[in-house]
Structure formats: C-alpha cells, structure tokens
Chain A
C-alpha cells in the first residue's frame, strides 16, 4: 500500500482514476488476490457497520461501567437544535450509536481502531443515506479510507497509547473526510485537502479515558470527530485548499504523539481522566465492574 498520500493522489490523477480504484488495485496486487475479493471483505465490514449503527440508535445499551449509553437515541428523539433535520445531526447520532455498541461489547469494525470506530461508519452511511447512494459507493469509499489509514499507520501511528487520540479519532476523521469527499464527487486532489483539513483540526488531541476504559470521553469524541470530518468535506468540496500537504500534517501528528507526555497516551494519568470527577467516577465504576 502507499506510504504517501501525495504519491497516491499524483498516480490516481495521472491515470484518470479514483483513489478508491487505485487503493483496490494496489491492495489486490500486494496480497495476490483479485479486486473482487478485497471488495467482498470491505462489503462484509460495511454490513457490520450498518448493523452497529442500527443497534446503537435503539438506545437500549449500557456500557460495562454504566458510564455511557442511550445518548444516540436522544439525537433521534430528543429536543430540536439548530441542526435538526440535517444530515449533520443524523451523522452525530450514528457516531454515538456505534461507539455505544462498542462500549457495550457489541460487534463493530475497528476502523482504524475500536476506540475510533464510530466516525467512519457515521460519516459514510449517513452521507449515503442523505444522498441515496448505493452500498457499492460506500464500499469504494471504505477502500479510500483504508488507503488514508495505511498512510497514517506508516507515517505516524494509529494507537492512542502511542500517539494520543489524534491517532485514533483524529485519524478516523481524516479517513472519513477523504472517503466522504470522494464519495460525493471530489477529485483525488480534493480528497488530499480534505484529509489535511480534518487532521489539522485534531492535532494535539490527547487520549484521556476515565479509568482507561473506552467509554468517556471516547463515545463523544467520535461524534466531534465526525463533525470535524464533515467540516473538512464541506470545505474541500467548496474548493478550499490547505497549504500544508496531508503527508506533512500526518507527519506532524506523529511527531506530536512522540513528544506527548505518557499521561496523555491512554494511561488514565492526565486530561479528563485526572480531573476530580474523572477520578471519582473511575473509582466507583471500576469497583462496580469487579463486582460484576
């Protein structure tokens, strides 16, 4: 797979094909498998993503600790806000839904990780629903997202323990922004700008879950991650460009992650986990989990 999004954009543009086509052909060649098989695996992932969205929106889930659950349904049935009736509000609900399923030990697709698993399905299935796009279009978008994630894995990190939340929900926002931009008709160059625009908005984001559990703030950070992805898609499709190339933004994310104090890398030693309320809740809930 590509190690540089810049190279991928250049090759796709030169050949007059989409980034998803390039990603699928490259993966097929890397693995010695036909493109059809790769698409089949991605399609199975999409079915699981759709199932998790549907399950989470019912609102009948509680996490192991009881700290999170039931909030996705509030965006469906709760009081109106300025985004009511828009794809934006629907996508926020979907992001919460998948993460609530994850926290309740339901079945999800780690994309790129379980902690950041809500962003990509929320943005892609939400936009597909709003625009009436087929599952095939979403499968293609997943291939583009995979290419972007592979570049982040090679150049920076996809682990909160190594790079903070910028490497999990931040990377997921970059993947969703690029994939969503292509799905709505953006060119490979616009995809590159969308990735840079999303990733720049999450630089420095720490990984600080209460008690080290993938619950709080992870569930909500998937919703705000999806919001950042949507902002990036909107800007990129409007023709806005970001002066720093996506590869360099991703490199910077990796550098910041390496310099980030260990308290902010999934150790529950800093950030929200270390607030007085965060410590108290973690203590109470961990006792509850041990009691079963």
Chain B
C-alpha cells in the first residue's frame, strides 16, 4: 500500500532519490548488522550504481549511512572525509552481482571488532529500498519497520518462543519470515515490528541458548 508520506518525501540531500537517499538507507541497514560504525567496509556497486554512482554521490551516501547519517543529513556531502577522520576504512569496487539483479544494487561487506556481515540490497526508486540477502541467506527487509534479524539453530518451537518473548516485551509483530538453507541447518529469522524494540529485547533474545546472533535494524523510512 502506498502512503501519502512516501510520495511527499523523503526529505533528503540531492540529487537522486534512488542513487543518493536509497543508497544512504542501504548503508544504514548494513550498519545495523554490525551494531555500529564499521572499521572496514568493502562496497561493491552493480549496474547503474556502478555506472552513474559517482555523479550522484552514491559513494558518499553509502558511507554516510554506514556512519549512521540519515538521508537528510547534509554531512553526506563530506562523508568520505569524515570517514577518514573517524577511522572507517572503505573500499569501492564495480561488480556484476548477477544479470537478474536490480539495476541499483550493492553488496556491502563490513567488519567491526569481531563481528562481520555481508548484505546485498537494492534501491527501488523514490528512496525505497529492499535488502535481499544477509550473510548468504535470502531475505526481504524493506526498512519500513523496526526489524530484528537473528540466526538460530533450527530447533522446534523457536518461532513460538520468540513471538512470546516479543509480546511479553509489549511489541507487536508486523511480519515474520523464516528461511533456512537446509533442514536442520541454521535458520534465519526476519521480524518486522510496529514499535521500536529496546536494548533489553535484544538481550533477551541473545540469552536464548539456540540463538547464534541477533541484531536490530532501525526503521529507515520516514
């Protein structure tokens, strides 16, 4: 469903809702996977991102997102200089992810302390984005909700346990998707929530013995 506020918005640094605002949102989502500003970032640009990204500030916008700047933050213009000062070491490459990939797609590989993550996401136009892959697991994360992602051992009752835990914390689930690469292998859960979960929710989830790791991705739309 299209929202009136999607049409009159986002407020953003120009020049392109797909190549600048959407790129920044993808950086913000990737940042969530390592829980803060990464030390190292490899950013592989595909298609139109690779072809016209420099003129649209796509590079600046992604790095800005990795540092937690939102699409309307005018520090985007000087994000590359700020990153060098803040000790974020980044590297851009041009790549072909695959022939079927959306024209504005990026693969971002991050390291922060002992945590690393790889994310593939696309900018769909008008600032809307979709994360399609996290650490090799196929997912669909729009950033329109506060989102919890977690990897768990494939144990019976895991979904029910998580759902109970969230509802005990007063959170309402908007969507929940479970994917796994094979039966009995690790399961990847993406939970979109109406409310913003506090730090204690993540602690509760991480305390479950069969959860390998979990992260919170903040809502990136208006």
> Which A residues fall within an 8 A CB radius of B?
1, 23, 26-27, 30-31, 38, 41-42, 44-45, 48, 63-65, 101-115, 117, 142-143, 145-147, 149-150, 153-154, 158-159, 161-162, 175, 211-215, 266-268, 285-286, 289-290
Contact = CB atoms under 8 A, between A and B. Distances in A.
Interface of B: 1-18, 20-21, 48, 51-52, 54-57, 72, 74, 76-77, 103, 124-127, 222
B127 to A, nearest CB: 6
Nearest to A159: B125
Contact of A107 (B3, B7, B8, B74): B74
A286 B56 CA distance: 11
3 smallest beta-carbon distances between A and B, as pairs: A102-B14, A146-B4, A212-B52
B14 A114 contact: yes
B126 A1 contact: no
A106 B76 CA distance: 10
B118 to A, nearest CB: 26
Contacts of B74: 106-107
A38 B5 CA distance: 8
Nearest to B14: A102
Prevailing SS type, chain B contact patch: mixed
A214 B15 contact: yes
B14 A212 contact: no
A66 to B, nearest CB: 11
Given A65-B55, A147-B4, A289-B54, A112 B126 contact: yes
B14 A109 contact: no
B96 to A, nearest CB: 16
A212 B52 CA distance: 6
Given A161-B103, A161-B125, A108 B4 contact: no
Nearest to B7: A149
A212 B12 contact: no
A115 B1 contact: no
27 contacts: A31-B3, A31-B5, A42-B5, A42-B8, A64-B15, A64-B56, A64-B57, A102-B14, A104-B15, A105-B15, A106-B14, A106-B74, A108-B14, A109-B9, A110-B126, A111-B8, A112-B7, A113-B125, A114-B21, A115-B17, A149-B4, A149-B8, A154-B2, A158-B125, A159-B126, A161-B18, A212-B48
